[in-house]
A and B are shown apart, each in its own frame.
Chain A
């Protein structure tokens, strides 16, 4: 291969390259032009082009400057880049505006709630004394519903809250005696609840309760009366059962 030939070869390949380049530059200029139009239009209308779409557009024309020949083309290229920058700013400001508005609204609401608050007054810091509530258990609910006198009474009783209740111990003989007394007092008689409460002491009531559960005495309620009997037919009352709460008054 002569020098001439090689020169010719080089020339021909250069021509092809130039042709290719001019084709490319045409295509790229077309793209640049279209994008520039798109962005200037969006900016004018203040329409935000999304980040991903904008980034793809930028990638498409990132190497465009290589193929640009004329000053006119370069101007379009720089105008497009300006469009990208402006779009970025518009996007950011519009996002910020949205966030700001919501934030502002929430802020205002929070401030309104804070302003309506009449805060409890207290001294900050950890107390050195541990809080311990008086363990009054269920009694607390009881006095809630009672009247003033009951509360006073409760408070008076409360002063010796740790006092242990006295227990009464009964021998077998005592119990039998009590039972005898109760038979005498109650058997084949009828009483109103109030009368019965006046008649019985606490211990007697306990014994009566025990006797009923042991079926030594039978009680039937008729209207307001409690009727006591012995050796009744328990079968006929099977399944029927009720309780009567007595508050004995006798000491």
Chain B
């Protein structure tokens, strides 16, 4: 602990222009802020017809009136706070804006159905192994023409995945949206691609 304090002092000595949080905000204010952060970061909104989670950095800045360094610092501290609860603060980019939200540190039940996971897995499997643009028709070929799923089922799944922020559909070309990248790390996506090859 002592060492840690020393380090903090040194950092403060090196960069005096950075406003250190504990000095500016009392413990009471901080606990109030953390409560509010939990509330806002676990909210789900609808933005441009898709679900988004948490809050954008600019909204947090405007709401708290902090400067960017203080905000980032407080979020760093909040990260350590929620870690105890098995949660992680994730940062993702949406339309060029930085967003913060919470995610489970371990496996947690998702609101997706099994069939939707199959379609998402197929998309990940294909996107991870090929570089050409993934067309909707390729997904349909893989799932419908081989009698694995019904056409309406695949359409329904694609619509739900788009709405949930997992995939983006632009002129029948499918690509990852922010949520796939947040919920599936690079390693997980590689493993899914391997599993996909097996079936």
Chain A interface (Cβ < 8 Å from any Cβ of B): 102, 105-107, 109-124, 127, 131, 133-134, 136, 140-141, 144, 148, 151-152, 155, 158-159
Majority secondary structure of chain B interface residues (helix, strand, loop or mixed): mixed
CB–CB B59/A134 < 8 A: yes
Contact among A110, A116, A119, A136 for B109, CB-based, below 8 A:
A119
Q: Which of A120, A121, A122, A144 has the most CB of B within 10 A?
A: A120
Within 8 A of A (CB), among B96-131: 96-97, 101-112, 114-115, 117-118, 120-121, 124
B residues within 8 A CB of A148?
A: 68-69
CB–CB B90/A120 < 8 A: yes
Complex A-B, nearest 10 residue pairs according to Cβ-Cβ distance, in ascending order: A113-B121, A131-B45, A116-B188, A121-B102, A110-B114, A110-B117, A113-B117, A119-B108, A110-B118, A119-B110
Q: How far is the CB of A156 from chain B (nearest CB, A)?
A: 8
Q: Which of A109, A136, A159 has the most CB of B within 10 A?
A: A109
B residues within 8 A CB of A124?
A: 44, 111
B residues within 8 A CB of A123?
A: 42-44
CB–CB A152/B56 < 8 A: no
CB–CB B182/A120 < 8 A: yes
A residues within 8 A CB of B124?
A: 113
Q: How far is the CB of A112 from chain B (nearest CB, A)?
A: 5
Task: Check B183 for interface membership: any CB of A closer than 8 A.
Answer: yes
A residues within 8 A CB of B65?
A: 159
Report Cα–Cα, A235/B161, bound state, in Å.
61
Report Cα–Cα, A154/B50, bound state, in Å.
29
Report Cα–Cα, A148/B69, bound state, in Å.
9
Majority secondary structure of chain A interface residues (helix, strand, loop or mixed): helix
Q: How far is the CB of B177 from chain A (nearest CB, A)?
A: 12
Task: Check B27 for interface membership: any CB of A closer than 8 A.
Answer: no
Within 8 A of A (CB), among B171-199: 179, 182-185, 188, 191-192, 195-196, 199
B residues within 8 A CB of A110?
A: 114-115, 117-118, 121
Query: Contacts A119-B104, A122-B102, A140-B96; is A114 near B42 (CB within 8 Å)?
Result: no
B residues within 8 A CB of A106?
A: 118, 148-149, 199
Task: Check B75 for interface membership: any CB of A closer than 8 A.
Answer: no
Task: Check B32 for interface membership: any CB of A closer than 8 A.
Answer: no
Query: Contacts A112-B121, A127-B43, A158-B62; is A120 near B102 (CB within 8 Å)?
Result: yes
B residues within 8 A CB of A109?
A: 117-118, 121, 195-196, 199
Report Cα–Cα, A155/B63, bound state, in Å.
12
13 further interface pairs, Cβ-Cβ under 8 Å (given A127-B45, A134-B59) = A109-B117, A114-B112, A116-B191, A116-B192, A117-B107, A118-B106, A118-B108, A119-B104, A119-B110, A122-B54, A124-B111, A131-B45, A155-B67
